[in-house]
Every structure is written in C-alpha cells, then in structure tokens.
A and B are shown apart, each in its own frame.
Chain A
Amino acid sequence: KQEVTQIPAALSVPEGENLVLNCSFTDSAIYNLQWFRQDPGKGLTSLLLIQSSQREQTSGRLNASLDKSSGRSTLYIAASQPGDSATYLCAVRPTGNQFYFGTGTSLTVIP
C-alpha cells in the first residue's frame, strides 16, 4: 500500500524567505504526483501536477520536483508571502482514480 509522508508537519517563516516542503512516498510506481493547497473552510486547490515522466513543474513562485526512483518530491516556494499561509498537501496517484494524500505541511508566513 502506498504511504505518503510530508515533512515538516508545520513550518513558520518570515515573509520573503524561500522555503522547501518535502514529500516522500513508498511505492515509486506512480502515474503522477500533485501538490495541493488547503485553506481553512475551503476545498483543495491544485497547485502543480507532475506526470511520472517529468522531473519538475513550475508555476509562478512555485516549483515542484519529482524523483520517482527515490520516492521524493519537493515543493519550492520563492519569496514567500503572508497569503501563502495554508496547509500544503502532496498526493500521488498510482493507477486508477485514487489519490494517496500526505498528512500535509502547515505553513505560516509571518509579515
């Protein structure tokens, strides 16, 4: 069974800092990996989707990398802003429609 772990569980940084969130998964046979953002009282918002054949994806200040063989992904956030404060989830999709989610990293960016 696929297990997804995210480290750290919580992170607090001053505004402007660059930061890295980590995600690891136990089974490298994945179809793709996705990073989500979850705000309190709101649903999940997809940030970046990396197919298994890709190494990284970029969107604005966000960059996600994937090393499938080692079972790792990172989400890099450049020049963090208070509006980036949220819980970040990574999810892997082996086959079919099921996502396996990590427990998330709660990020607080201090103004």
Chain B
Amino acid sequence: GAVVSQHPSRVICKSGTSVKIECRSLDFQATTMFWYRQFPKQSLMLMATSNEGSKATYEQGVEKDKFLINHASLTLSTLTVTSAHPEDSSFYICSVGMDLAKNIQYFGAGTRLSVL
C-alpha cells in the first residue's frame, strides 16, 4: 500500500518564525492530500484539503494566510506555519487519499510542533 512520509517528526522554533512541514506520498500519485492537527487531549481536526495544481480548501476557522499549503506535485504537499506563535503548538498530521470513494486514506507519522 501507499507509504506516506512526513518530515520533520518534531520541530521546536521561536515565536515569529515560519515552519515548513512536508508530506510525501512514496508509492502513489496523490491528487488529494489532507492536513489535520490535534491539540492536547482533543480530537484530530481537519484543517484543509490540498489539491494538486489548485488552491487548497480550508475548513472553517483555519486561517489560509497563516497555514500556507502548496501541492505542486502529485507526490508532495507542504504546510507552512507562518509567524508561528505558542498557540500554534500542536500535532500536525497529513494523509493521502488513495481511494476516496472507499474512504481509504493513509496517514503520515505526524509532526510535533512546539513554539517557544
């Protein structure tokens, strides 16, 4: 099956800096990738749907100018947290939609972001 590689697994940064997280589909050309985040003791929440070659679709309450998503190729989507603040500290995880009709998605290992 598809293998999803997410990098980095953990990042610590200073407030005000930008952080880029990569999500790669190693075995499958993915036209659609998904970005989720999970705050401590809360559920995974969908942030945005990344579409290859077009603009991402953001969920309500997610700032598109703060969380920049680029899906320039069929195997790579990036999430950039711009001007990160401590409240952005969270667990970010991506998934690749292989067969959306069958609800088959493969998830990356996630990125733990800590903003000091």
> How many residues does chain A have at the interface if contact means C-beta atoms less than 8 Å apart?
23
Q: Which of A31, A32, A41 has the most chain B CB atoms inside 10 A of its CB?
A: A41
- Chain B neighbourhood of A89, CB < 8 A: 44
Q: Are A97 and B32 in touch, CB under 8 angstroms? A: yes
6 contacts between A and B (CB under 8 A): A34-B103, A42-B110, A43-B93, A43-B109, A49-B103, A91-B44
Bitwise interface map of A from 82 to 106 toward B, beta carbon under 8 Å scored 1, else 0: 0000000101010001111111100
Complex Cα–Cα for A43 and B94 (A): 9
B44: nearest chain-A partner, CB-CB: A101
Complex Cα–Cα for A31 and B103 (A): 9
Q: Are A97 and B93 in touch, CB under 8 angstroms? A: no
**A99 and B108 in contact, given A43-B6, A43-B93 (Cβ under 8 angstroms):** no
Q: Which of B43, B102, B104, B109 has the most chain A CB atoms inside 10 A of its CB?
A: B43
User: Does B46 make an interface contact (CB < 8 A)?
Assistant: yes
**Chain B: interface residue count, which band?**
20 to 34
**A44 and B93 in contact, given A31-B103, A93-B103, A103-B41 (Cβ under 8 angstroms):** yes
Quote the shortest CB–CB distance from A93 to chain B (angstroms). 6
- Chain B neighbourhood of A32, CB < 8 A: 103
Complex Cα–Cα for A2 and B110 (A): 24
How many A-B residue pairs have C-beta atoms within 8 angstroms? Tell me. Answer: 50
B102: nearest chain-A partner, CB-CB: A49
A39: nearest chain-B partner, CB-CB: B109
Bitwise interface map of A from 42 to 60 toward B, beta carbon under 8 Å scored 1, else 0: 1111100100000000000
Complex Cα–Cα for A103 and B41 (A): 7
B42: nearest chain-A partner, CB-CB: A103
User: Does A64 make an interface contact (CB < 8 A)?
Assistant: no
A42: nearest chain-B partner, CB-CB: B109
User: Does B45 make an interface contact (CB < 8 A)?
Assistant: yes
Complex Cα–Cα for A48 and B103 (A): 11
